[in-house]
């Protein structure tokens, strides 16, 4: 092959390598993060894992906030929808539930002041909404992550908030 | 046969080179398209459904599982008001007022992007924990050793070249509309090395 032709092959490969890596990177990051969560305790798909309080020994996710506690559900909708429920925070402080697709996109979020969260959140997470299912959040991907955040304003408040967030559920709802 | 091997090698070199360039591009994303506010910086792309694969890749690196701006704005600072990199060998004064949000915090992160291992449990100040003066303003000391008499302290021991993150949960609409104009805490160097804090 002529040098000029080889140069063109190289340029095309370079672009393909660049584009392929950029496109694949978020999926790899999310896959790795999900595996880390699933291996961090006795937790399976479609179940909340209630993370411990953030301390200086926490090394799960970079730049964690010591004032927040996180509960996370790694979901898989291949066998049908998943129901997410969570009580509204009794302390009236900020709380949110956010939904992330397998490419890291944050495609939905509700906080405690949203009408659907005020009396407790109850959503069906599905690939496609069906009439009569109540509040449905459509996931753009089969797999993803749901993250519940609560503020812990003091050590004394932690046991109460911890007990409350443990009432949150992420369960298969075929 | 030799020609085929040459083509295969060329393709492999191209793919590898492209992947390497992508890694550099993704690593450099934090400084692209952000908003500056004095020494603080934020990136509005973090937490939002990505506009394109390049933005998504960058966000996956610096803001995985972050919230969108309506929910939370994250500002980061790595230098003092004079532009010098933050250093655990120095003492700083952090001054400001309540940030324009439903809840806020300022957290100190060590060079490795985790909380510094120093046993002090003084990694952050927040709307809940900060002690304010009668006018509502606050002043915090950032230092390796616990300062005598300081009401607000962020411990920088074992943090190396540290950074600060300001979190604004449910930011005010006015603040969201003008991220560059929000009044964020000022970081002033007081002393360095063996000098005494004034």
Q: In 3D, which of A139, A141, A103 has the Cα closest to residue B51? A: A103
Residues contacting B108, CB < 8 A, separation 6+: B115, B116, B123, B124, B142, B154, B155, B156, B159, B162, B163, B164
Q: How far is it, in rounded angstroms, from Cα A125 to Cα A99?
A: 9
Residues of A in contact with B14 (CB under 8 A): 9-14, 16-17
Nearest to B60 among A17, A64, A104 (CB): A104
Q: Residue B84: pLDDT band by 50, 70, 90 thresholds?
A: very high
Domains contained in chain B, number? 1
What residues of chain A score a pLDDT lower than 50?
none
Q: B170 φ, ψ to 5°?
A: 45, 65
Residue B25 to residue A22, Cβ atoms within 8 A = yes
| In the predicted structure, residue B31 carries a pLDDT above the cut 70 | no
Q: Which residue has the tokens 């999900």?
A: A34
Asked if the Cβ–Cβ distance from B14 to A12 is below 8 Å, we say yes
CA distance A173 to B49: 26
Neighbour-count burial for B106-134, b at 16+ CB within 10 Å, e otherwise: bbbbbeeebbbebebebbbbbbeebeeee
> What sections of B33-170 are H helices per DSSP?
53-62
- B41-50, B153-162, B166-175: lowest mean pLDDT where? B41-50
Give A114's contacts in chain B (Cβ within 8 Å): none
The domain of B126 spans 69-192
B44 within some domain: no
Tokens of A14: 């370079």
| Residue B116 pLDDT level (bands cut at 50, 70, 90) | very high
Which of B7, B44, B49, B14 is CA-nearest to residue B29? B44
DSSP secondary structure, A117-130, as one string: HHT-EEEEEESS--
What are the tokens at B142? 């950032």
B94 or B21, higher pLDDT: B94
Residue B198 lies in a domain: no
A–B CB contacts, 8 A cutoff, strictly below? 172
pLDDT value of position A94: 92
pLDDT at residue A37, rounded to an integer: 81
> What are the extents of the domains in chain A?
48-172
- pLDDT at position A138, please? 94
Give me the residue from B10, B14, B103 closest to A151, CB to CB. Answer: B103
Beta strands in chain A (DSSP E): 48-50, 68-76, 82-86, 95-101, 106-111, 121-126, 136-138, 143-151, 169-172
Question: Can you give the pLDDT at residue B30?
Answer: 61
Class of domain A48-172 (CATH, top level) = mainly beta
CA dist., res. A50 & res. A165, Å (int): 8
Out of A57, A62, A111, closest to residue B170 by CB: A111
Q: Which residue of B has its CA nearest to A33?
A: B64
Q: Is residue B166 part of a domain?
A: yes
Mark A67-97 as b/e (b = at least 16 C-beta within 10 Å).
bbbbbbbbbebeeebbbbebbebebebbbbb
Q: Is residue B34 part of a domain?
A: no
Query: What does the block give as tokens for B91?
Result: 């003492």
Separation in Å, CA of B21 to nearest CA in chain A: 6
For residue B87, the domain's CATH number is 2.60.120.600
Q: What is the mean pLDDT of chain B?
A: 89
User: Is B16 inside any structural domain?
Assistant: no
Task: For residues B189 and B198, give the distance between their C-alpha atoms in angstroms, rounded to a whole number.
Answer: 10
B107 chain-A contacts, CB cut-off 8 A: 63, 65-67
The pLDDT of B80-92, averaged and rounded, is 96
Strands A121-126 and A136-138, by their bridges, are: parallel
**Band of pLDDT at residue B1, cut at 50, 70 and 90:** low
State the nearest Cα–Cα gap between B58 and chain A, in angstroms. 8
Position B198 scores a pLDDT of 44
Q: Is residue B115 part of a domain?
A: yes
What H or E segment, with its residue span, contains residue B79? Answer: none
Instruction: Report CA-CA distances (Å) from B138 to A39, A89, A118, B88, B130.
Output: 42, 28, 33, 21, 7
The ipTM assigned to this model is 0.82
Q: What would the DSSP string read from start to end of B27-67? A: HTGGGSS-EEETTEEE-TTTTSPPSSHHHHHHHHHH-TTPP
Provide the token pair at B120.
Answer: 């002090």
Q: What is the pLDDT of residue A39?
A: 81
Among B68, B73, B64, which Cα is nearest to B103's?
B73
B contacts of A64 (beta carbons < 8 Å): 114-115
């Amino acid at each position: 092959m002529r040098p000029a032709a080889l140069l063109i092959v190289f340029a095309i490969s370079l672009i393909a390598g660049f584009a392929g890596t950029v496109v694949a990177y978020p999926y790899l990051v999310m896959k790795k993060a999900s595996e880390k969560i699933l291996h961090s305790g006795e937790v399976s798909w479609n179940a909340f894992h209630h993370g411990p309080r953030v301390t200086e020994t926490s090394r799960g996710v970079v730049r964690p906030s010591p004032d927040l506690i996180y509960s996370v559900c790694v979901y898989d909708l291949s066998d049908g929808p998943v129901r997410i429920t969570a009580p509204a925070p009794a302390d009236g402080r900020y709380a949110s539930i956010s939904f992330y697709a397998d490419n890291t996109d944050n495609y939905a979020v509700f906080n405690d002041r949203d009408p659907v969260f005020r009396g407790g959140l109850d959503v069906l997470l599905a690939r496609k909404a069906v009439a009569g299912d109540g509040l449905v959040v459509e996931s753009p991907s089969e797999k993803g992550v749901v993250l519940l955040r609560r503020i812990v304003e003091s050590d004394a408040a932690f046991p109460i908030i911890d007990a409350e967030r443990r009432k949150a559920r992420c369960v298969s709802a075929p | 046969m030799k020609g085929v091997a040459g083509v295969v090698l060329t393709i492999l070199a191209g793919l590898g080179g492209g992947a390497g360039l992508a890694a550099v591009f993704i690593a450099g994303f934090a400084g692209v398209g952000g908003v500056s506010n004095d020494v603080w910086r934020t990136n509005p792309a973090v937490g939002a459904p990505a506009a394109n694969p390049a933005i998504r890749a960058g966000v996956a690196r610096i803001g995985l599982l972050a919230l969108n701006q309506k929910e939370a704005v994250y500002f980061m600072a790595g230098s003092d008001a004079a532009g010098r990199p933050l250093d655990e060998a120095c003492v700083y004064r952090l001054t400001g007022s309540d940030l324009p949000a439903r809840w806020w915090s300022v957290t100190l992160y060590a060079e490795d992007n985790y909380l510094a291992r120093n046993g002090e449990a003084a990694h952050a100040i927040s709307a809940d924990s900060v002690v304010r003066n009668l006018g509502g303003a606050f002043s915090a000391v950032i230092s390796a050793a616990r300062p005598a008499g300081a009401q607000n302290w962020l411990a920088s021991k074992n943090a190396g070249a540290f950074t600060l993150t300001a979190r604004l949960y449910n930011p005010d609409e006015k603040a969201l509309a003008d991220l560059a104009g929000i009044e964020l805490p000022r970081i002033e160097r007081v002393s360095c090395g063996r000098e005494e804090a004034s």
